[in-house]
Amino acid sequence: MTEPALRILGLNQYYGESHTLWDIDLEVPRGACVCLMGRNGMGKTTLLKTVMGLLPARSGSVRFEGVELLGRPVEHRPRLGIGYVPQGRDIFPLLTVEENLRVGLAAGRGRRVPDRVYELFPVLARMRRRRGGDLSGGQQQQLAIARALVLEPRLLILDEPTEGIQPNIVREIGAVIRRLNRELGLTVLLVEQKLPFARRNADRFVILDKGRVVADGPMPELDDALVRDHLSV
Ligand SMILES: Nc1ncnc2c1ncn2[C@@H]1O[C@H](COP(=O)(O)OP(=O)(O)OP(=O)(O)O)[C@@H](O)[C@H]1O
Ligand SMILES: [Mg+2]
């Protein structure tokens, strides 16, 4: 059996005394697009940050292609082949588009921004010399995704890439994620609260409720009862 791209086993995380993630088991098969879902405050960002090493885990295991990540410094992830797009984008407003992308290169041993990145986001090619802060919210999100792609990761992790973005750009971002996953074979783990976006772009779902995995499966199994019990507000 081939090792999944990402395998999380028995993961527990605390903020101080506050137990936030409880015995998380989660698998992202190679080539899959898995959507991590759940209402606000259920632990989605905490889980991604713990995988990325930005928060310490209390116990458990996080393996990427069989390699244990817990205990390794944050900067190992991009070198191993993991790209991360944080919630809220976090681009550098005073750097140009091109400089923002070169910062992504600096996280690993990349030498130049691959042409494919500009090809995936033509708007960034056109705005190469503009400052990040002058871009619209949707363009900044595209820049944040592009920055995560410059080292040509095999696993891309995105935290709510469509939050606060106008519908036409949401569709463009969905199309890019689909293309990365289905045509270019990138494995994707995506946090997303918009149901239609999740249904259209992901092939599996995992639901977090109060820091626990309460359901997972192929996307067609995400039925009305699950939505009512764990997702609708
Ligand atoms: N730095 C922190 N210190 C203490 N508690 C925190 C911290 N960050 C988040 N929390 C708490 O941990 C829980 C999970 O938060 P988290 O941000 O992971 O949720 P989320 O599912 O990503 O929510 P959202 O959909 O709003 O982004 C929440 O109860 C939150 O208040
Ligand atoms: Mg979050």
- For the stretch 33-81, pLDDT in tens is 999 999 999 999 999 999 999 999 999 999 999 999 999 999 999 999 9
Positions of E strands within the chain: 6-15, 18-28, 33-37, 59-64, 67-68, 82-85, 155-159, 187-191, 204-209, 212-218
**Per-residue model confidence (pLDDT) at position 131:** 97
Classify each residue of 99-131 as buried b or exposed e, where b means 16 or more C-beta atoms within 10 Å of its C-beta.
ebbbebbebbebeebbeebbebbebbeebeeeb
pLDDT at 1 over 70: no
Superfamily of domain 6-90+153-231: P-loop containing nucleotide triphosphate hydrolases (3.40.50.300)
Residue 183 CB contacts under 8 Å (≥ 6 apart), including other chains: none
Q: Which ligand is nearest to the CA of 38?
A: 1
**Per-residue model confidence (pLDDT) at position 56:** 96
| Residue nearest ligand 1's atom 3 by CA | 15
Beta carbons of 154 and 187 less than 8 angstroms apart: yes
| Residue nearest ligand 1's atom 7 by CA | 15
What is the residue type of 167? P
Q: What is the pTM of this model?
A: 0.96
Q: Scan for tokens 């519908």, then name that residue.
A: 167
Q: Which ligand is nearest to the CA of 43?
A: 1
**Per-residue model confidence (pLDDT) at position 89:** 81
Q: What percent of the chain has pLDDT over 70?
A: 100
- Backbone angles phi and psi of 96, in degrees to 5: -70, 170
CB of 45 closer than 6 angstroms to any ligand 1 atom = yes
